A and B are shown apart, each in its own frame.
Chain A
Amino acid sequence: MHSIFGIPTPALFGQLLLGLINGAFYAMLSLGLAVIFGLLNVVNFSHGAFYMLGAFTGWLLLAGLGLGYWWALLLSPLIVGVLGMAVERLLLARLKGLDPLYGLLLTFGLALIIQGVFRNIFGVSGLPYGVPSQLAGARNLGFMILPNYRGWVIGLSLLVCLATWLGIEKTRLGATLRAATENATLTEAFGINVPRLVTLTYGFGTALAALAGVLAAPIYSVNPNMGADLIITVFVVVVIGGMGSILGSIVTGFGLGLAEGLTRLVYPAGSATVVFVIMIVVLLVKPAGLFGRST
């Protein structure tokens, strides 16, 4: 059997794949968090709940309306995005001008309520959600076996991250978003409707979380706690990448997923804590995060 540094190659690639999968979810979730934090200055603690809602919306679309995975991939982000916009308009917008801590408390409370309601209705054991038939099976890459669905998740999330990055860095709307993130008052004084931009941005961030939720459903099963389990790591990703940095979120998301995977090979007990160790080291060396601008 082949091995690299004494680690059998199938095990190595298996863990790297797992790391990439986790990293894909970290990246998509922290991307939404970063966009929201940048513009709204809100640490969106309900992000995990929106991710869970995305998965549940997909499950409910199937169970209630018979709409399968592909429909869920399209509709779930739309539905949850609209819900996110309502949350911003009806709740978060009222906190404008107050200490950002209020936004954190509000979204944290909201997450507890949403998760509590779903636990009450659906329990905590998790609901199965099948892999769509088009993506069933696996292919042999020579050095490892890649389940098709996992390849799809990594590919699609890379594509979504890239598209988001391009949209923010290279388009007119993205320039407006960056301007409002940097100085909302002045941006509005040019005649730009910043409150609407804020609502759309929050909706977009929550839609990204919901998309991640649908992608996760066939891998992790649909569970009211699925977001709460993930959200702390996602926040660590945002902190390491640099609060509000788009590129930082994407690179750090995938990077930390891989770091976890590799740690699981070398020192399995450390895999759950390695992200926190990395965070401490990064904060000691670069307090604004790897891609953050110190202001």
Chain B
Amino acid sequence: MAETHPAGAAPPLLKVRNLEGWYGPSHVLHGVDFDVPAGEVVTLLGRNGAGKTTILRAIMGVLGRRAGSVRMNGMELIDLPSRLIARRGIGYCPEERGIFASLSVRENLELPPVIGPGGRSTGQVLDLFPNLRARLNSGGTRLSGGEQQMLAIGRILRTGARLLLLDEPTEGLAPVIVQEIGRVIAQLKRDGFTVLLVEQNFRFAETIADRHYIVEQGRVIDMVPNAALEAKREQLHGYLAI
């Protein structure tokens, strides 16, 4: 796909080009191209199995094998181990939240090391997610699904990462919790975070995102700015088979 950011705009914070990825012998990403402009909330939309989660895993370096180019602020990440990718300023909130059962809520929250300036304090994270405050000494997986999701987002806000990769943060959660998470993501955007979001829930995505990339069979096949959503709604429904 061609350059998608408007001419004259700042270069994208994250620039993915011809990204390929494999699970063992099976080739699952076939040349993914997209940009994440700084300060935007960007979604990857697509059907189940389209490769959205795999794209995040490939960016993060936790996929067995990957090739192509992933640049953060112009710096190539493709050959780095995942711990150094994280240290370039990317916070990762994985599918199914990745809360550690053998760690307390506080330990989960304070596990990711601070990698740069501008991170929030534990107190500020707890102000954003007040439910967690009373549960700090509980086991991480004793929390409800919604609280675990808040913990999974909260723990990457401490590190100073500027780009957040969120993999289906609304999956399996009650509508009121989904709203709450939407509110938090909007707040994070106002605070200058850049968010790359994998979503199945299109209705949720359209309330918070600036642009959507459509993923199909391991490729990005289209980009829809949120502003142009109405005009392209029919086409989108076709892509997502809603």
Contacts and interface: CB of A to CB of B under 8 A. Distances in A.
Given A172-B110, A175-B111, A176-B111, A189 B103 contact: no
Contacts of B84: 191
A244 B84 CA distance: 29
A189 B111 contact: no
B61 A189 contact: yes
Contacts of A185: 62, 82
Interface size on B, as a range, is 20 to 34
Interface string B182-199: 000000000000000000
A275 B156 CA distance: 47
Contacts of B60: 189
A183 interface: yes
Interface string A178-191: 11011101111111
A178 B102 CA distance: 6
B208 interface: no
A63 interface: no
A179 B82 contact: no
Contacts of B115: 191
A190 B86 contact: yes
Contacts of A186: 62, 92, 94, 98
Interface in A158-187: 172, 175-176, 178-179, 181-183, 185-187
B100 A182 contact: yes
Nearest to B101: A182
A187 B81 contact: no
B107 to A, nearest CB: 4
Nearest to A168: B102
Contacts of B82: 185, 188-189
Interface size on A, as a range, is 10 to 19
Contact of B113 (A178, A183, A192, A194): A192
A187 B111 contact: yes
B159 interface: yes
A183 B100 contact: yes
A97 B71 CA distance: 27
B83 A191 contact: yes
Contact of B111 (A181, A190, A193): A190
Given A172-B110, A188-B83, A190-B92, A178 B100 contact: yes
A175 B103 contact: yes
Given A181-B102, A186-B98, A191 B111 contact: no
A179 B100 CA distance: 6
A176 B111 CA distance: 6
B83 A194 contact: yes
Interface string B78-93: 0001111111000010
A191 B62 contact: no
A57 B100 CA distance: 40
The 7 A-B pairs of least Cβ separation, nearest first, read: A191-B86, A190-B112, A175-B107, A178-B102, A189-B82, A191-B87, A188-B83
Interface of A: 172, 175-176, 178-179, 181-183, 185-194
Interface of B: 60-62, 81-87, 92, 94, 98, 100-103, 107, 110-113, 115, 156, 159
Given A178-B107, A190-B92, 19 more contacts: A175-B107, A178-B103, A179-B100, A179-B103, A179-B107, A181-B102, A183-B98, A186-B62, A188-B62, A188-B82, A188-B86, A189-B62, A189-B82, A189-B85, A189-B94, A190-B112, A190-B159, A191-B87, A192-B112
10 contacts: A178-B102, A179-B102, A182-B103, A186-B62, A189-B86, A190-B86, A190-B159, A191-B87, A191-B113, A192-B112
